[in-house]
Amino acid sequence: MNDDRQHTFARTTGFSGRGLHTGRRCAVTLRPAEPGTGIVFRRLDRDGALVPAHIRHAQKLIRCSGLEKDGVTIRTCEHLLAALYACGIDNALVEMDAEEVPIFDGSAAPLMIETAKGGRIAQDAPRKVIRITEPLESRDGDRFVRIDPADELSIELSLTLRRFGTMGWSGPLDRETFGREIAPARTFSPLRHALPMKLISLITFQPIARGLRLDNVLLFARGRVWNPGGLRFPDELPRHRVLDVMGDLRLAGVDVIGKITAFRSSHALNQDLVRMIARA
């Protein structure tokens, strides 16, 4: 995959599905865009309002990453942004008729399949890259996400879960490795968190886990996964956290080159680090 030039879709494609938090169906159309556009969302149900996928529009939402501009929200965009990265798409117009990107099976793999249907063409503009020149770190107590200078993008991530202990994944984050090793990893939640969230959403009508099901979230309790079929990888949980880091990192608007180290990462920590990268 030639990464020297910017790329966009060769043709328009699209898909539809339900959101994890709103539970509502959303139709998504992916269109080619001019060089330098980046990834821009358009809410068709909000008079065509445009919301660029950039850290300056990042919004901290419960259990997902979001964007907001002039009162218009895009919810749960991280998996699609990661899929666009894996497919080598720099510039695209993402049209939606609702606020939340479909969750599918909770991973980025179905989104990669749908995105790849649009093909890919090189554009007459160099791909923009930020090379990290000094260490940057976002921290909250013992939780942190850090990036250091390096010759390629890579990550070393670990997390700790009750009854599971400490788990981790490390490796390069080139597009091919990401698509093969990280994209299939599904979002997850302890059952003791998922059930109260679902109940609260039904009582308050807040968009929190209203669309949560066993076929779109890994649920675990008492040290075991409750989903039929179990895990796709023994370390699927940390792999999904890597997916989230990559999706949030795309809010820099350009490729980032550096070594990421993370412990108990979160969307909030990821976004704070991207803000530091954008200012550096």
Q: Tens digit of pLDDT for each residue in 119-163?
A: 999 999 999 999 999 999 999 999 999 999 999 999 999 999 988
Query: What is the Rg, in whole angstroms, of the alpha carbon atoms belonging to the chain?
Result: 18
Q: To the nearest 10°, the Cα dihedral for 181, 137, 101, 239? A: 20
CB 10 within 8 A of CB 119: yes
Output the domain CATH number for residue 73: 3.30.230.20
For residue 192, being part of any structural domain is answered with: no
Is 63 inside a domain boundary?
yes
Rounded to whole angstroms, the Cα distance separating 46 from 36 reads: 24
In 3D, which of 252, 238, 275 has the Cα closest to residue 159? Answer: 238
Burial of 203 (0-12, 13-18, 19+ CB in 10 A): exposed
Mind listing the pLDDT tens digit for each residue in 76-129?
Answer: 999 999 999 999 999 999 999 999 999 999 999 999 999 999 999 999 999 999
The answer, yes or no, to whether residue 38 has pLDDT greater than 80, is yes
Count of domains forming the chain: 1
Sign of the Cα torsion 222, 228, 171, 134 reads negative
In the prediction, which pLDDT does 1 show? 53
Q: What is the pLDDT of residues 47-81, one digit of tens each?
A: 999 999 999 999 988 889 999 999 999 999 999 99
- Cβ proximity of 123 and 7 under 8 Å: yes
What's the confidence (pLDDT) of residue 77?
98
Would you say residue 91 lies in a domain? Answer: yes
Please check whether residue 152 lies inside any domain of the structure: no
Question: Who's near 86: CB < 8 A, 6+ residues apart?
Answer: 108, 112, 175, 178, 179, 183
Instruction: Give domain status of residue 58, yes or no.
Output: yes
Q: In degrees rounded to 5, what are phi and psi of residue 50?
A: -100, 135
pLDDT at position 197 is 83
Contact 146/161 with Cβ under 8 angstroms?
Answer: no
- Residues serving a catalytic function are 267
Q: Where are the alpha helices (DSSP H) in 55-143?
A: 78-86, 109-116
Is the pLDDT assigned to residue 187 strictly greater than 60? yes
Q: What local confidence, expressed as pLDDT, does residue 203 receive?
A: 83
Domain that includes residue 66, residue range: 5-127
Is the residue at 167 inside a domain? Answer: no
224-268 pLDDT, tens digit per residue, is 899 999 999 999 999 999 999 999 999 999 999 999 999 999 999
Query: Does 47 belong to an annotated binding site?
Result: no
Within-domain flag for 275 = no
**Quick check: helix, strand or coil at residue 156?**
strand
Distance CA 258, CA 24 (A): 37
Q: Is 79 annotated in some ligand binding site?
A: yes
Whether residue 184 lies inside any domain: the answer is no
The residue ranking higher by pLDDT, 178 or 194, is: 178
Whole-prediction pTM:
0.95
Count of CB atoms situated within 10 Å of the CB of 137? 14
pLDDT exceeds 60 at position 2: no
Return the residue matching tokens 């009162």. 71
244 among annotated binding-site residues:
yes
- Round to whole Å and give the CA distance between 30 and 118: 8
